[in-house]
Amino acid sequence: MSTSGALFQGQTPLAVRMRPTSLDEVAGQQHVLRPGSPLVALADPGRQTTGAVSVILWGPPGTGKTTLAQAIARSSGRRFVELSAITAGVKDVREVMQEALNQRDLYGASTILFLDEIHRFTKAQQDALLPGVENGWVVLIAATTENPSFSIISPLLSRSLLLTLKPLGDDDLGMLVDRAVSDPRGLAGHVVLAPDARDALVRLASGDARRALTALEAAAAMTAGEGDDEDSPPTVTAEVIAQAVDRALLRYDRQGDEHYDVISAFIKSIRGSDPDASLHYLARMIEAGEDPRFIARRLVISASEDIGLADPQALTIAVAAADAVAFIGMPEGRIPLAEATVYLATTAKSNAAYLGINAAIADVRAGGFGRVPVHLRDAHYAGAKRLGHGKGYVYPHDTEVGIATQQYLPDELRGRRYYDPTSHGRERDVATRLEKIRRILDGE
């Protein structure tokens, strides 16, 4: 077997082998690695008992959260204990805390507890971390791809320093790829990376170092054995990259912050009447494996909130798309979703009904509701007439125009206007008709 072929047999993944052993090797994230920063202080072996602050690292996948934790532990000489929120329970956390306390009291050893995916911990599990963090038994370095404000309990947030990591830039990714090709821990020069392949890896990674190195490893494995000898190693081309990676896997965590960002951009693009941007974000959600029922629900909401009576047909189309997706499933469900998306993006817009119900709810919550006028009250039960219920009510169908001059709002809200139609689309006709209706209701 060739040397390059043996390189890929039984190996630890390339992304793991290439993890830095010190903060000096970390690519990117210089905004949190400036001299004197909390992370740099944590990595200082001379400051094991001072400046030890727990940290929450928030950022997209592949930005170096695990890497930073391991590099800090190695550089500082602290014990390193890693737990995954997927598999660890309250008992595991308490055992780590007790052992860390013993290590501190018996041997003077400081412990770093790295907790990956802390957003998956329940409140009870996060509560179990508090004694160790508060009393300094451990230095917690927690990683999350979700917004900590939504996923981490306030007491833990208040006792930790929140640092936001950024997707890696193209230069950082290129440097990591080059290092992985030449470094003895990586591919050790057993392949040559063509410039177009390097560009493709950087582009496909979308700021994610792990994705870049995983794709590189898969592509290099495909070329194993192609070179004649060590003096002419095989070349990884853009074509090989394309074969190794079926498609550009989007950075999109269905449970994380990116989930909310993409759906927000989708709805705002529809509201902004940009069908091209709307289809782009729809495609990103579909390719990321988003639940099509979730997308359909958002379309129904958009049709009601942002379009309303400017085009009542929009709600019908959105509901039909939701029914179609449930009926035919995916991938064909993308077609009715796209049709509804384009229709909603290109039709007239009005949020008058949305604003109207919000204003009405605000009045009710503020106590502005009053008694139902007597003539509108239910008069169908025994004793209702004795109370005067229904007395004076005018049946609109008995009038010439089908509208009766009478009061419908409680006395306290008489004259209050909640619905203010726009001049957009069909709502222009509604506005004209409503003006006449209101004049009749008011007896003008």
Q: What is the pLDDT of residues 140-194, one digit of tens each?
A: 899 888 888 878 888 998 888 899 888 888 898 999 999 999 989 888 888 899 9
Amino acid making up residue 223: T
Please, which pLDDT band fits residue 286 given cuts at 50, 70 and 90?
confident
Q: In the prediction, which pLDDT does 261 show?
A: 83
- Quick one: 265 and 314 in the same domain? yes
CA angle, 202 as apex, 236 and 248 as ends, to 5°? 90
Q: What is the pLDDT of residues 303-334, one digit of tens each?
A: 999 999 999 999 999 999 999 998 888 888 99
Residue 229 maps to a domain: yes
Please, which pLDDT band fits residue 249 given cuts at 50, 70 and 90?
very low
Which has the closest alpha carbon to 72: 53, 88, 90, 87?
A: 53
Of 144, 164, 184, which marks where a domain is finished?
164
Residue 278 maps to a domain: yes
Element (H, E) at 142: strand 139-144
Please, which pLDDT band fits residue 293 given cuts at 50, 70 and 90?
confident
If phi over 0 gives left and psi between -120 and 50 gives alpha, with beta otherwise, what is residue 64?
left
Question: Quick check: 63 and 54 in contact, CB under 8 A?
Answer: no
Per-residue pLDDT for 274 more than 90? Answer: yes
Residue 8 maps to a domain: yes
Sign of CA dihedral 381, 385, 389, 394: positive
Q: In the prediction, which pLDDT does 49 show?
A: 52
More confident residue, 72 or 51: 72
User: Tokens representing 135?
Assistant: 């009393």
pLDDT, the chain, mean: 85
Q: In the prediction, which pLDDT does 334 show?
A: 92
Give the separation between CA 269 and CA 259, rounded to whole angstroms.
16
Per-residue pLDDT for 9 more than 50? Answer: no
Question: Quick check: 338 and 368 in contact, CB under 8 A?
Answer: no
Q: In the prediction, which pLDDT does 211 show?
A: 84
- Residue 302: give its domain's CATH number: 1.20.272.10
- Quick one: 172 and 155 in the same domain? no
pTM above 0.85, yes or no: no
The DSSP letter of residue 306 is I
What is the domain count for the chain? 4
Please, which pLDDT band fits residue 358 given cuts at 50, 70 and 90?
very high
